[in-house]
Amino acid sequence: MKLFRKLLFPFALVYGGITALRNLFFDNAWLKSKQYHFPVICVGNLSTGGTGKSPMIELLVSFLKDDYKIAVLSRGYKRKTSGYRVVLTKSAVKEVGDEPLQFKKKFPEITVAVCEDRLTGIENLQKDAAVILLDDAFQHRRVKASLNILLTPFYNLYSNDCLLPAGNLREPKFGAKRANIVVVTKCPENTDDSKFEAIKKKLKLKSYQSLFFSKIGYDSEIKNEKESKPLEYLNGKKFLLVTGIANPKPMVEFLKTKGLSFEEKSFPDHHNFTVAEIEALKKHSLLLTTEKDFMRLQGISASNEIYFLPIKTVILNGEEAAFKRTVEKNMTP
């Protein structure tokens, strides 16, 4: 696979040239970006794949919602609809996408909407929100966000990657200069301070950029829409772990550290489960999945025991308060 990707390097140069030219046009205002009079916070990345955008959105909502009227705008990846649509707690995944539905169910008091055109989405939302969070919109240059938060995973830093299709980058690495805050996500437990310092040097951030490190925090309870149970409920039980995320390995390792024994079944990120796959999963009396996948697997719960394990972003090195202050200080238009 690595050899095949190296053969695609010439195509990456072409792709990089096109994306660099596009960014140049926006940087010089030859293509227009619209800025708003209220805070618009963008959470995104330079690469494809899971970098932890959803738990970062949830972290931002959790500490901003008490002081601001919040709305979250997503494109609604893999939904079967198009255009602007407000997400309701009773919405179907096929109508709005799994992550927007997850946001709405977790924070029913906020407004969540989907729209592939972020300008249209913001125009519709601005009457209902004082702060708008844009999920996965770092490359959506038609909107000039008040604050750009760029995520990059510990084991796959953008500085070590190359452009599509030879690598995973959506745009050249120098696009990172648009970020106000860079967060290295999915750091392993007990990471040595020397590794944090090495990453800081490798990223070579600008003086106006703030750097934070985070890890995945796992809940002590498993949940579904009816109940919560302690994680220990799974002790000694046979269950199937079902995942449709970019990298299930951290979750698998966490469960194993808890002494749990289980079968695993993984699918591609944002996988739309077929009828045949659902029927096969129903053969297992107890299933555990991610919160995102639970949105697409709720049809199973009528006849099987199915739970999800919530996760959250945890800012490391005692800097959670500093992270919150940096967000609030920089989100003013």
pLDDT digits (tens, 9 = 90+) for 196-243: 999 999 999 999 999 999 999 999 999 998 899 999 999 999 999 999
Assign 313 a pLDDT band (cuts: 50, 70, 90): very high
Which domains can be identified in the chain, with CATH numbers? 2-68+130-217+315-330 (3.40.50), 220-309 (3.40.50)
Partnered with residue 147 across adjacent β-strands are 41
Q: What would you report as the CA-atom Rg of the chain, rounded to the nearest whole angstrom?
A: 20
Whether residue 4 is predicted with pLDDT greater than 80 in this model: the reply is no
Q: Are 46 and 175 in contact (CB under 8 A)?
A: yes
- On average, the pLDDT of the chain sits at 93
Whether residue 318 is predicted with pLDDT greater than 90 in this model: the reply is yes
Backbone angles phi, psi at 50, to 5 degrees: -80, 120
Whether residue 1 is predicted with pLDDT greater than 70 in this model: the reply is no
Contacts with 225 (C-beta within 8 Å, 6 or more apart), sequence order? 105, 298, 301
Write down the pLDDT at residue 5: 65
Within the chain, residue ranges assigned H as helices are 2-7, 9-27, 53-64, 93-96, 98-106, 118-125, 193-203, 249-257, 275-281, 291-297, 320-330
pTM of the full structure: 0.94
43-54: per-residue pLDDT in tens? 999 998 789 999
